[in-house]
């Protein structure tokens, strides 16, 4: 379609008027609108520039200028739109729009951070309110000025009144001065009386200044120093202190002043005029003025005699403590609360504790509960009755050692009425053991003589019985020619005779007779041991190896394997590797050890699988010239009545037919009579049993 108007083309583009079909009315409308809009956009920045220039207090002026650039860019886009109606310079129009977009984007970005600040700009209403408040404050200020004037007038009135009052006070002050003079006179009289008191006291009274020089000393101090009171004034107090105590006194004085102390006590020694060293205890009062030491008042008491008496008392007490401490028997003192207040070294050795672990503690802190309760019960009896108590008490020193203690307790009451228990302990364990040993030896010797006589009387007929029963068994059971001939003469076949005897159980009966005879023979043999005292075959032996050999023999013993399975018993060895060779009869000592091992196995078998696994401990030690052998088990143990009779001949706790009751008796004689040693047993129900054998290293002749 052809149009009336056509503009020039540019780079192949058509003018924008082509889009309007070159209609004059439409082109005029757009041209006028864009022109007026662009002109307005240019006039607005002019107004902004003028406003900013006139109002220098406007906040954010840079933002206003940026708004102006943005508005100018917008106006330029409208002018470019008019241009492109006739000239298709769209690139120019695009760059103008790009500039406008840039300024608008920057303005938008910078606008948001300024919003909080802009929000804080007071509104006209706020400014109006602030103006009204300011006017109100002006009114208040004027009222305050008027109030101040009234106060000033009132103050002048008060000054006038105060002047009158001061005149009256001056009159009263003159009266007070007169009274003060009278008081000073009374004070001087009081000071005179105080000085008279100070001069009359038996204590040393001094006053020194901040440098330590005397400003006053009383009569007693002057007599101590051998000078007049006037001559002492001005002298340095430290010069009268004993030389070896002088530096300590100086340091103490400096320390008091540095710490700002007001009262303290101190002891030192000073030399008197006659050359005696006097020990003094000082009560010191330091006086300060404006934070600095002004003077020091001191009162000292001569404690030389007191210290001498204390020293003598201390020496006497230490002497008595040394005497008590050197007493071999344990000596102790307990208070009413059953706490130890004295314990000598023997008590510490007995309890296995240091002295400071005993003093101040009770028996409940040192001993098992049951034992402590028993001790305390006897203490209560002594404290309540005042009677002397003598008793023998068992003392569990360790898990394996129980001592017998003979304790004597008495009550002591001091001058203050406090009650104490004074006790002396004597260990009678060895004495009791020797008593038991002597009783046991006497029993064994008397029974041994009887057993020897009986054994000789029984041995001959017993031998005939055993020989005869052996012959009878041979003739009734042995298929020999002579037996067959005798049977045929009797008109009976030998086989019929043996069949009859078997049918009637004659053979077992004969064997039982033979076994009983053999057992009786062993009893006779054991009884004969009591009458034998011999050193035959005694030679130095290794006890550790001897114990190993005894264990091996027991392990291979048929009866032990059959009835007690000895090999299932745990054997623990605690041997002294430094044990010397011990002179002994090896077979006899082996017999003793095997007997003890057999008894332990039998005792532990009685538990029937209950309790801990069976265990035997073999221990050797070399003590006090004696070889010590211990055989301990964890079996059921035994009570005291059994323990005391354990070595008696024919005494046994086994079932009838299971023991002769002579094993331990023979062991006792082997150790004591044949080797000059001793054997004892320690046991309590439930705690197992320990046999202790002591053998001398030096050979002794049998008793």
pLDDT digits (tens, 9 = 90+) for 116-141: 776 666 667 776 787 788 788 888 88
> What's the pLDDT at 574?
94
Is residue 584 located within the same domain as residue 682? yes
> What's the pLDDT at 619?
94
Q: What is the mean pLDDT of residues 659-682?
A: 81
Domain boundary among 510, 527, 544: 527
- For the stretch 431-488, pLDDT in tens is 776 666 666 565 555 555 555 566 666 766 777 787 787 777 777 777 778 878 887 8
Q: Tell me the pLDDT of the chain averaged across its residues.
A: 81
Q: What is the mean pLDDT of residues 654-675?
A: 74
Nearest C-alpha neighbor of 419 from the set 332, 334, 342: 334
Is residue 112 located within the same domain as residue 24? yes
Q: What is the mean pLDDT of residues 44-69?
A: 76
Q: Label residue 53 by pLDDT band (50, 70, 90).
A: confident
Buried b (16+ CB within 10 A) or exposed e, 454-477: ebeeebeebeebbeebeeebeeee
In a domain, 124, yes or no: no
Q: Count CB atoms within 10 A of the CB of residue 38.
A: 20
> What's the pLDDT at 3?
44
> What's the pLDDT at 439?
61
> What's the pLDDT at 4?
43
Domain boundary among 462, 492, 527: 527
Domain boundary among 527, 552, 568: 527
Token pair belonging to 250 = 């100086």
> What's the pLDDT at 695?
92
Nearest C-alpha neighbor of 585 from the set 702, 441, 411: 702
Has residue 85 got a pLDDT over 80? Answer: yes
Q: Label residue 573 by pLDDT band (50, 70, 90).
A: very high
In a domain, 11, yes or no: no
What range defines the domain where residue 497 resides?
434-527
In a domain, 143, yes or no: no
Say whether 539 sits in a helix, a strand or coil: strand
Q: Label residue 701 by pLDDT band (50, 70, 90).
A: very low
Nearest C-alpha neighbor of 327 from the set 353, 360, 357, 350: 350
In a domain, 151, yes or no: no
Q: pLDDT over 70 for what percent of the chain?
A: 85
Is residue 266 located within the same domain as residue 284? yes
> What's the pLDDT at 703?
42
Which of 52-61, 101-110, 210-219 has the least mean pLDDT?
52-61
Is residue 657 located within the same domain as residue 544? yes
- Say if residues 596 and 519 touch (Cβ distance below 8 Å): no
> What's the pLDDT at 12?
65
Q: Label residue 340 by pLDDT band (50, 70, 90).
A: very high
Q: Count CB atoms within 10 A of the CB of residue 668.
A: 23
Nearest C-alpha neighbor of 660 from the set 670, 648, 668, 672: 648
Which of 83-87, 519-523, 605-609, 698-702 has the least mean pLDDT?
698-702
Has residue 681 got a pLDDT over 80? Answer: yes
Length of the chain as a residue count? 703
Has residue 690 got a pLDDT over 90? Answer: yes
Token pair belonging to 403 = 């001592």
Is residue 649 located within the same domain as residue 585? yes
Cα gap 553→371, rounded to integer Å: 42
Is residue 660 located within the same domain as residue 541? yes
Tokens 């003079």 -> residue: 181
Token pair belonging to 467 = 């020989």
> What's the pLDDT at 507?
78
Is residue 294 located within the same domain as residue 413? no
> What's the pLDDT at 153?
83
Rounded to 5 degrees, what angle do the CA atoms 351, 352, 353 make?
A: 90
CA 203 and chain centroid, separation: 51
Q: Count CB atoms within 10 A of the CB of residue 167.
A: 9
Rounded to 5 degrees, what angle do the CA atoms 662, 665, 669 make?
A: 135
Q: Label residue 333 by pLDDT band (50, 70, 90).
A: very high
Has residue 572 got a pLDDT over 90? Answer: yes
Which of 91-100, 191-200, 321-330 has the least mean pLDDT?
191-200
Is residue 548 located within the same domain as residue 672? yes
Token pair belonging to 430 = 């060895």
Q: Which CATH number characterizes residue 348's domain?
A: 3.30.450.20
In a domain, 322, yes or no: no
Has residue 9 got a pLDDT over 70? Answer: no
- Say if residues 696 and 625 touch (Cβ distance below 8 Å): yes
> What's the pLDDT at 538?
76
In a domain, 655, yes or no: yes
Q: What is the mean pLDDT of residues 505-513?
A: 79
In a domain, 570, yes or no: yes
- For the stretch 187-245, pLDDT in tens is 777 777 767 777 778 888 999 998 889 998 888 888 888 888 888 888 888 888 888 88
Count of domains in the chain?
A: 5
Is residue 550 located within the same domain as residue 637? yes
Is residue 549 located within the same domain as residue 476? no
Is residue 549 located within the same domain as residue 507? no
Is residue 381 located within the same domain as residue 463? no
In a domain, 652, yes or no: yes
- Say if residues 15 and 87 touch (Cβ distance below 8 Å): yes
- Say if residues 702 and 674 touch (Cβ distance below 8 Å): yes
Has residue 317 got a pLDDT over 90? Answer: no
Strand partners, 205: 299
Cα gap 394→372, rounded to integer Å: 11
Q: Label residue 660 by pLDDT band (50, 70, 90).
A: low
């Amino acid at each position: 379609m052809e149009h009336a108007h056509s503009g020039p083309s540019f780079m192949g583009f058509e003018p924008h008027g082509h889009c309007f079909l070159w209609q004059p009315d439409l082109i005029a409308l757009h041209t006028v609108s864009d022109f007026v809009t662009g002109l307005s956009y240019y006039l607005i920045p002019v107004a902004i520039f003028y406003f900013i220039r006139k109002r220098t207090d406007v906040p954010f002026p840079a933002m206003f200028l940026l708004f102006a650039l943005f508005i100018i860019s917008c106006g330029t886009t409208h002018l470019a739109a008019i241009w492109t109606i006739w000239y298709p310079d769209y690139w120019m129009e695009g760059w103008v729009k790009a500039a406008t977009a840039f300024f608008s984007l920057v303005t938008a970005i910078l606008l948001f951070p300024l919003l909080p600040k802009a929000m804080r700009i007071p509104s006209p209403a706020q400014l109006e309110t602030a103006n009204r408040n300011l006017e109100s404050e002006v009114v208040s200020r004027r009222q305050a000025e008027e109030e101040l004037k009234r106060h000033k007038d009132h103050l002048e009135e008060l000054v006038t009144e105060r002047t009158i009052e001061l005149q009256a006070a001056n009159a009263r002050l003159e009266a007070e001065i007169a009274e003060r003079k009278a008081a000073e006179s009374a004070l001087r009289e009081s000071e005179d009386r105080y000085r008279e008191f100070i001069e009359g006291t038996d204590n040393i009274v001094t006053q020194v200044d901040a440098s330590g020089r005397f400003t006053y000393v009383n009569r007693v101090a002057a007599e101590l120093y051998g000078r007049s009171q006037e001559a002492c004034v001005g002298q340095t107090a430290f010069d009268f202190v004993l030389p070896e105590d002088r530096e300590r006194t100086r340091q103490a004085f400096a320390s008091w002043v540095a710490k700002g102390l007001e009262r303290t006590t101190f002891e030192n020694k000073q030399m008197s005029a006659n050359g005696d060293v006097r020990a003094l205890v000082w009560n010191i009062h330091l006086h300060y003025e404006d934070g600095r030491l002004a003077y020091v008042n001191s009162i000292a008491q001569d404690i030389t005699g007191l210290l001498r008496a204390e020293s003598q008392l201390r020496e006497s007490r230490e002497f008595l403590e040394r005497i008590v401490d050197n007493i071999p028997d344990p000596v102790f003192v307990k208070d009413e609360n059953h706490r130890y207040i004295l314990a000598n070294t023997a008590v510490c050795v007995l309890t296995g504790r240091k002295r400071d672990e005993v003093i101040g503690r009770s028996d409940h802190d040192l001993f098992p509960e049951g034992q402590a309760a028993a001790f305390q019960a006897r203490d209560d009896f002594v404290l309540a009755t005042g009677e002397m108590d003598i008793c023998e008490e068992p003392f569990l020193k360790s898990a394996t050692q129980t001592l017998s203690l003979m304790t004597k307790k008495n009550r002591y009451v001091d001058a203050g009425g406090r009650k104490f228990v004074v006790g002396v302990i004597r260990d009678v364990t060895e004495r009791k053991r020797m008593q038991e040993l002597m009783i046991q030896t006497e029993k064994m010797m008397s029974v041994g003589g009887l057993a020897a006589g009986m054994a000789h009387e029984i041995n001959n007929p017993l031998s005939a019985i055993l020989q005869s029963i052996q012959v009878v068994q041979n003739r009734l059971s042995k298929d020999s020619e002579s037996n067959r001939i005798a049977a045929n003469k009797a008109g009976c076949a030998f086989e019929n005779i043996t069949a009859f005897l078997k049918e009637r159980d004659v053979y077992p009966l004969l064997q039982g007779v033979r076994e009983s005879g053999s057992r009786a023979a062993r009893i006779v043999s054991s009884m004969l041991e009591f009458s034998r005292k011999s050193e035959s075959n005694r030679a130095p032996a290794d006890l550790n190896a001897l114990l190993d050999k005894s264990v091996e023999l027991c392990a291979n013993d048929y009866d032990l394997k059959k009835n007690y399975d000895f090999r299932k018993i745990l054997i623990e060895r605690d041997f002294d590797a430094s044990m010397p060779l011990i002179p002994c009869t090896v077979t006899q000592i082996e017999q003793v050890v095997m007997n003890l091992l057999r008894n332990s196995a039998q005792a532990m078998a009685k538990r029937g699988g209950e309790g801990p696994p069976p265990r035997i401990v073999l221990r050797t030690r070399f003590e006090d010239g004696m070889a010590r052998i211990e055989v301990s088990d964890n079996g059921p143990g035994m009570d005291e009545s059994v323990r005391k009779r354990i070595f008696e001949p024919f005494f046994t706790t086994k079932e009838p037919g299971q023991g002769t009751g002579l094993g331990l008796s023979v062991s006792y004689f082997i150790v004591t009579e044949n080797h000059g040693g001793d054997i004892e047993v320690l046991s309590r129900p439930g705690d197992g049993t320990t046999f202790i054998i002591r053998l001398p290293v030096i050979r002794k002749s049998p008793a």
